[in-house]
Structures are given as C-alpha cells and as structure tokens.
Amino acid sequence: MPFAQFDTDAFLRDHWQKKPLLIRNPWGSWSNPLEPDELAGLACEDDVESRLILQKRTGWKLEHGPFAESRFAKLGKKPWTLLVQAVDHYAPNVAALIDPFRFIPNWRIDDVMVSYASDGGGVGPHFDQYDVFLVQGLGKRRWQIGPQCDATTPLLPHDDLRLLANFEATDEWILEPGDILYVPPGFAHNGVAVGNDCMTYSIGFRAPSRSELIAQDCDHVLESLAEDDRYGDPGLPLQDHPGEISEPALARLHAMITATLADRHAFAQWFGEYTTTPKYPENNVDQNPMTTSALRALLAGNIEIIRNPASRFSFIRRDDGTLTLFADGHSFICDKDTATLAETLCAHGPIRIDASLTQSDAAMTLLASLFTQGSLAIEEPE
C-alpha cells in the first residue's frame, strides 16, 4: 500500500523528531490489513506479546496475555483495549505497512503494534521515548496531543502503566481509516475509540538510550578482554605522599578504558550485529541447511525469495570499498557482486536475483547462509 501523496522531504525537514503531524489518508487505496478476529487469535498464542487494558471505576487495570478465547466474551461494557506487539512478524499484510515509511533507515524501525478498542477504549494519556506513526485501520479514534514531557513529568501512581498525572490537550483530531498521526518522542498524546471496532496500527521506531548503548557495548567488550590485561606502572617514581592517586596513574587508568571503547571499527561491527538481533528470537528459527547447489537449482526455477518478516537487515560501508551485511545478529563481509546483492536484500520491495549471480560462489554462499539461518525464505504458492 504505497503513499499516493506524501512529501517526504518536507516531513523530514519540518516534523521528524520536531513536532506532530496529522496526515489525512495519503494512501492510494486504503484497506484494513487485519481482521479483529485475527488480532484476537494472535493474543491467544503463547509466543505473542499481548496486553489488555481495562478502564474501571477504580482506575486502570492491565492484564498480560496469552488470553483464553473466552476472555474476550467476558469483557462487558466498560471500555477496553487489546494491544498486540510485533504483529508484522506474523501477518504479511501488516508487515507491508512498514514499506512506505522506509525513508527512515532500517535500523531505526522497531515493529508494528496493533490495538483494538471498544467504544471509549484507550491506554490513557502518556508519552513515549520513540517516534511513532499511528495509522487508523478501522473505525474512528479521537487523538489529543499535549506538550512535551520528560523524566520530571508527574505520573499517576500505577504498578504497570506510565500515565500522565496531568494532561491538557493542545490539539485534537478524529482519525478515520487511512489517516495517520505522527508523534515525535516526548509528546503527550491520548487516543480514545469513537465507537466500536476501532483498530490502530502503531509503527514504532527504536531510539537506543545512551545508557543502553554503553551497557550493551561494554558487556560485549568485556567478553573479549583477557584476565591478564591489567594496569601496569613500570618506572614508578617516588611520590611525595602515599595517599595520592597521581595524575600519571589516572591518565593510564583512564586510557585503559577509553582506548578500548574508542575503537570505532569494533563499535560499528558490534552495533550492526546488536541492532539486527531479533527482538523475538523464536520467530527466526534456523531452517534445514541450504546448499549452494540446491539454491542454484531453485533459482533456475524462477522462485520468488522473500524476507522473514521478523528479520532485520542493515549494512555498513567500509573504507576499503566493501560493506558488511548484518542480518539477524550475524555479519557477512561483502565485496564486488555480493555488495550489490547485500544492498538489494536490505531494500524494500521484492527480492530479484539476477541470473548471473548463480555463477558467483560468493553470492550463492551468502544466500545459502541467510536461508539456513531463517532470514530468507521461498514464497509459497497460494
């Protein structure tokens, strides 16, 4: 479902990470990609992350899935909302919603959360730490936008939900099927279903925190450090006072840390693998080993190759003209014909393999590895 009209350059210049934007139905033709019963079915699955938020006289209540089918018949007339995470991993039509937004780099894309709400249902006024496009799929929802928030913004006391203690709307719209609301990080927002059968698709984008990057990178670095890599001070001069930690000692100690973490090439390698590691590893199951000879035979039959919807692909260009392809936490050095192939694998749209690549052992080895680890698959005929 591509956009029929949308000024990407103007959006990136004026709104991305700056201010919210209401986008009235920009699609060529909008069709809701998932039925409510299908969403409820996913919420009953053991390996799918789902939540149910209920609004009661006593306040907000959160329940975690998986849910029994009978649970939905017992919800009653009080407003409620069902939230299912990473629906794009299970529903190809939902995964296709991401494609028009790929003017944002792959590594920033998180997943598509889908919500279904009864009349008056919502998750309460809140703010997020990431960018989100809220696509109205079915029914209507009233969205209110408030001011920017931060870590000092007062929240309601609640064990499970981070709801704003005070919310004053500065803008308000009713979204209908196909309409989109973009909300940058930190902006307060509140969505309430207007009528029943309200479905919203939340296309979220990751923004790692400084603390997350430092913690995860340090954990990775620690794995490679030897126990005997220790502080040393040969030629130690006599100090005036034994209690002083001298400036030369501090410089050596500080350098032990900074020199290790300052390796930009090592950081790039780690980050590529880290950011493409599947959020839900159970959705990336290794396949039976694919041999290059079997792959050549398949490609000769003009099969269509597809990406696993749960897979993450990115690449980093290297100074020597090669590039490193990252797929689901694994890395592959690519040059010549495999570099172009890697770019194709990371692009959106169908994967078309040039017939000449079947003569390339490097290209066939790369593709076979991606098939074996479950990142690629063959399109099954309907």
192 and 48 in a single domain? The answer is yes
Does residue 78 belong to any structural domain of this protein?
A: yes
Determine the Cα–Cα distance for residues 32 and 120; give it in Å rounded to an integer.
21
Co-location of 96 and 224 in the same domain: no
| One domain for residues 163 and 216 | no
Determine the pLDDT at residue 76: 82
Phi/psi-derived region of residue 286, left when phi > 0, alpha when psi is between -120 and 50, beta in every other case: beta
Closest CA to 345 of 380, 381, 373: 373
Query: pLDDT value at position 283?
Result: 67
Q: Could you read off the pLDDT tens digit of each residue along the chain, which spans 382 residues?
A: 779 889 999 999 999 999 999 999 999 889 999 999 999 999 999 999 999 999 988 889 999 999 999 999 889 889 999 999 999 999 999 999 999 999 999 999 999 999 999 999 999 999 999 999 999 999 999 999 999 999 999 999 988 899 999 999 999 999 999 999 999 999 999 999 999 999 999 999 999 999 999 999 999 999 989 999 999 999 899 999 999 999 999 999 999 999 989 999 999 999 999 999 988 877 666 667 889 999 998 888 777 889 998 999 999 999 888 999 999 999 999 997 799 999 999 998 778 888 888 899 999 999 999 999 999 988 765 5
Instruction: For residue 98, tell me if it sits in a domain.
Output: yes
Q: How many CB atoms lie within 10 A of CB 80?
A: 23
Does residue 43 sit in the same domain as residue 85? yes
Contact 206, 130 (CB under 8 A): yes
Task: Please report whether residue 272 resides in a domain.
Answer: no
| R_g of the chain, CA atoms, integer Å | 25
- DSSP three-state, residue 77: coil
Query: Concatenated DSSP letters for 22-78?
Result: EE---BSS---SS-HHHHHHHHTSTTS-EEEEEEETTEEEEEES---GGGGGG--SS
Residues 194 and 86 in one domain: yes
What tokens does 64 get? Answer: 């975690």
CA distances to 87, 152, 381 from 90, rounded to whole Å, are 5, 37, 18
Write down the pLDDT at residue 280.
Answer: 82
Can you give the residue range of the structural domain that contains 101? Answer: 8-205
192 & 223 share domain: no
Q: Structural domain tally of the chain? A: 3
Same domain, 249 and 368: no
Give the CATH number for residue 20.
2.60.120.650
Q: Would 254 be classed as within a structural domain?
A: yes
Residue 338 in any domain: the answer is yes
Q: Are residues 199 and 298 in the same domain?
A: no
**The dihedral of CA 221, 226, 227, 230: what is its sign?**
negative
Q: So what's the pLDDT on residue 326?
A: 98
Q: How would you classify residue 184: left for phi > 0, otherwise alpha for psi between -120 and 50, otherwise beta?
A: beta
Which tokens belong to 244? 């002083």
pLDDT of amino acid 381: 55
Beta bridge partners of 22: 181
The answer as to whether 352 is a domain residue is yes
Q: Which residues pair with 323 in a beta bridge?
A: 317, 334
